[in-house]
Amino acid sequence: MSVPYLRGAVKDGDSEKLIRFVRLHLGDGNENVGRKEIDKSWTEALKILLHDQEPDCDFIEQTMQKDSSTLALLYFRLHFYFIRNSGEWIHDGSR
Amino acid sequence: MAAANLHSSKTTESLVDPRESGTQLRPGLWQTINERYPGSMITKSEFIPLARLAKALKDSTVCLISSCGVHLKRDRPMEVAHPLGDFSFRRVPSDAWQPDLIIHQLKYPHDDADLDINVIFPIERLQDLAAEGVIGGLTRNFFSFIGYNMDPERFEATVAEDIACAVDEEERADVALLAPA
């Protein structure tokens, strides 16, 4: 999906196209895998918070002051961080 | 892989659509990718023709350019999480060896290349060819970037142009070896 294709979807309010793209991106070209990967990253984050370790809320507050573009990329970075953290890493370059 | 001579006039001409001729794309690849990523494949009506060698290969300085995402371990990793792609590239010293390098990519299996990086980035084979005198020599640096990209126009205007300029003006390459991953 090219950027013009995605921008067209934004302009048309066609969220299904955008959702499909996100799932394909996160699932290495497989929508079903992408859907599972998204769920997995959220549950991994939840599991970590259940450890009762105190988070660095000052750091989070400072980070949240960054521009939205940086935060959006950080969101994708965090997804991959949690997926890797889960131990079920499909993006390790193996078949 | 494709080889392109760099010191040639940049004239363009209309060529037969490679999707029809099958000369530049594996049969069926276009359909497969469009099925998984609708709208991701670009169409060009004009191509810059591959130039003939201006001098013998044994006298030519060769540069390697690859979309495999290989870089020095000490360099900043490629931005693999960005959903639209990474618009940067890395210079890889042509005298680097496999232990110096890492593959930073999410979009293709590289377990074989982790064992022998030359299967996608034939840096040591080119060093061998230069040592044997089969080619004249190597440029100081090779170039690597991530092939996954959703904005081919921006990519062409930035990464592709910057690499082309560096290969031609800084590295003074006679031949560029293009290796997709």
A59-90 confidence digits (pLDDT tens): 999 999 999 999 999 999 999 999 988 887 77
Q: How confident is the model at residue B9 (pLDDT cuts 50, 70, 90)?
A: very low
pLDDT of residue B44: 64
Q: How confident is the model at residue B3 (pLDDT cuts 50, 70, 90)?
A: very low
Domain boundaries, chain B: 2-10+51-179
- Residues B87-105: pLDDT tens digits? 999 999 999 999 999 988 7
Summary mean pLDDT of chain B: 82
Task: Kindly report the backbone phi and psi dihedral angles of residue B91, in degrees, each rounded to the nearest multiple of 5, phi listed first.
Answer: -90, 130
Residues of A with CB under 8 A from a CB of B: 1-6, 21-22, 24-25, 28-29, 73, 76-77, 79-80, 91, 93-95
- Residues B31-82: pLDDT tens digits? 666 666 666 666 666 667 777 888 999 999 999 999 999 999 999 999 988 9
Residue that wins the pLDDT comparison between B14 and A23: A23
Residue that wins the pLDDT comparison between B152 and A66: A66
**Facing A80 at nearest CB: one of B81, B109, B114:** B81
Task: Kindly report the backbone phi and psi dihedral angles of residue B123, in degrees, each rounded to the nearest multiple of 5, phi listed first.
Answer: -70, -40
Chain B residues inside the 8 Å CB shell of A25: 83
Looking at the complex, report in whole angstroms how far the Cα of residue B95 sits from the nearest Cα belonging to chain A: 25
Q: Which residue has the tokens 């990718």?
A: B33
Assess B79–A contact: CB distance below 8 Å, yes or no. yes
SS3 assignment, position A73: helix
Q: What percent of chain B has pLDDT over 70?
A: 72
A8 token code pair: 């067209």
Residue B22 has pLDDT above 60, yes or no: no
pLDDT of residue B149: 85
**Cβ–Cβ below 8 Å for A93 and B111:** yes
Residue B43 CA to residue B61 CA, distance in Å, equals 32
Looking at the complex, report in whole angstroms how far the Cα of residue B33 sits from the nearest Cα belonging to chain A: 9
CB B86 within 8 A of CB B80: yes
CB B78 within 8 A of CB B69: yes
Residue B59 CA to residue B135 CA, distance in Å, equals 6
Residue B129 CA to residue B164 CA, distance in Å, equals 23
Residue B140 CA to residue B149 CA, distance in Å, equals 27
Q: How confident is the model at residue B126 (pLDDT cuts 50, 70, 90)?
A: very high
Angle made by CA atoms B105, B108, B112, in degrees to the nearest 5: 95
Cβ partners under 8 Å of residue B172, min gap 6: B61, B139
Q: DSSP assignment, residue B98?
A: G
Q: How confident is the model at residue B7 (pLDDT cuts 50, 70, 90)?
A: very low
Average pLDDT over residues A39-51: 94
Residue B181 CA to residue B148 CA, distance in Å, equals 10
**Cβ–Cβ below 8 Å for A93 and B114:** yes
pLDDT of residue B10: 39
Q: DSSP assignment, residue B100?
A: G
DSSP annotation string for B74-89 = TSPPP--S-TTB----
Residue that wins the pLDDT comparison between A5 and B94: B94
Q: Give the dihedral of Cα atoms B32, B49, B119, A24; nearest 10 deg.
A: -30
Residue B95 Cα distances to B57, B77, B99, B146, angstroms: 19, 20, 12, 21
**Facing B37 at nearest CB: one of A3, A24, A73:** A24
Q: What percent of chain A has pLDDT over 90?
A: 62
Number of Cβ atoms within 10 Å of the Cβ of A60: 9
pLDDT of residue B105: 74
* Lowest-pLDDT range of A3-17, B5-19, B67-81: B5-19
Residue B13 has pLDDT above 50, yes or no: no
pLDDT of residue B26: 61
pLDDT of residue B5: 44
Please report the number of interchain residue pairs, chain A to chain B, with beta-carbon separation below 8 angstroms. 55
Assess B154–A contact: CB distance below 8 Å, yes or no. yes
